[in-house]
Amino acid sequence: MRRMMTSALALCALAGTAAAQSGSVDQAVGGYSFDEAAQEAEGTKDFHSGDGVLTFAVVTHTAGNGFFDPVYVGARVAGNMIGANILLLGSESPADDPAREIEILNQIINDPTIDGIIMTTPQIGAYDDIVRTAESNGIPVATTNSFDPGILHRSTISHTGQDASAAAIAGEALVQCLIDRGVTGGSIILPNDTAMGNIEVNNRVTAAFEAIVAGLAANNMLENFQVDAGPENVGVSADMNDPANSIISLIESRGDVVGAFAGNNVFTPALASAVAQTGNTGTMCAFGFDLGPAQQEALKAGNLTGALGQQPFLQGFWPVMQLYLQIDRGISAANLDTRAQLVTSDTVGEVGARFEN
């Protein structure tokens, strides 16, 4: 009985200590209560349209290949959290189609029910008029996924997306793949079509190229490999309109290709197809970008060794929250780098479990 009483007293003492150290804070140093400060501002839901509900439009440059599906899901999740309507818009094309995206943007820019616009910006220099018109109409803009560094008022517009330097992760993984498989020499190609005008993809290829060269050099292997990313290191020339056959031609013309990297959702499925058609399944160290259905199937089949995810759920979720915070709290230009998630055949089964990739 004494032992039980002693234990009970000890528990009481501990509880008292914990309560004394809890440090509960209910009021700010400025004198206001945190409960009050956490409430939405009066009038937020009547911003711009005045209809009692925030409506944000998400417009992408390709809704036809599945990559942006998790972006749209993330936007809807954020919209549900803040009670906003989210319009999901985008080019119907499975390939990059900035012209169609801009056409859609011009259709909605004067819609009086729109309270904010989230848009991708793959075509450098093509969105200034959109930003100018939105600002004159009192509509805030956020960009996501692809980055235009020179867009009008860039420093005041938030961006959510992956910095191109993340492609170095794939370059490092490619070198490790060669080491693990005992490959001692050969060609490594990085196909791209710079005519697409997508500086983001070009920068990815450069980052991957530099990482491959650095990795080979660090392992005293560089002199045994030819790493081809074209004369300016933004990609060896390939045809966006016939990407698979372009890559097949590159593989067959060299005859010793042991590794490859593709920097976007156009050339990555094409690389996987080329690997399969040239009989290199499971042998070539082939890495690419994005985790759409085609990439996932290629990883399972062994036609891709790895692919980089951009955390696209965040690329939909955060811009919605950013526009809300800009309207409700006056917080703007809070960028988010979504980095990269390397997925291989061993981990591809975990992709999309909660519609995040």
Do residues 170 and 208 make contact, with C-beta atoms less than 8 angstroms apart? yes
Of the pLDDT bands very low, low, confident and very high (cuts 50, 70, 90), residue 227 is: very high
The first and second tokens of residue 323, run together, are 């526009």
Do residues 161 and 316 make contact, with C-beta atoms less than 8 angstroms apart? no
pLDDT score at 200: 81
pLDDT in tens, 103-142: 999 999 999 999 999 999 988 899 999 999 999 999 999 9
Do residues 233 and 205 make contact, with C-beta atoms less than 8 angstroms apart? yes
Is residue 175 predicted with pLDDT exceeding 80? yes
pLDDT score at 17: 52
pLDDT score at 352: 85
Weakest-pLDDT range from 21-35, 170-184, 221-235, 285-299: 21-35
Single-letter amino acid code for the residue at 313? F
pLDDT score at 198: 73
User: Rounded to an integer, what distance in angstroms lies between the CA atom of residue 266 and that of residue 247?
Assistant: 12
Neighbours of 249 (CB within 10 A): 15
Weakest-pLDDT range from 5-9, 193-197, 311-315: 5-9
User: Among 298, 247, 295, which Cα is nearest to 66's?
Assistant: 295
pLDDT in tens, 311-357: 999 999 999 999 999 999 999 889 999 999 999 999 999 988 888 88
DSSP string, 276-325: HHTT-TTTSEEEEE---HHHHHHHHHTS-SEEEE--HHHHHHHHHHHHHH
Q: Average pLDDT for residues 266-277, to the nearest whole number?
A: 97
Is residue 164 predicted with pLDDT exceeding 70? yes
Of the pLDDT bands very low, low, confident and very high (cuts 50, 70, 90), residue 66 is: confident
Percentage of residues in the chain having pLDDT higher than 70: 93
Q: Residue 322: how many CA atoms within 13 Å on its side-chain side?
A: 27
Q: Average pLDDT for residues 262-289, to the nearest whole number?
A: 96
pTM: 0.78
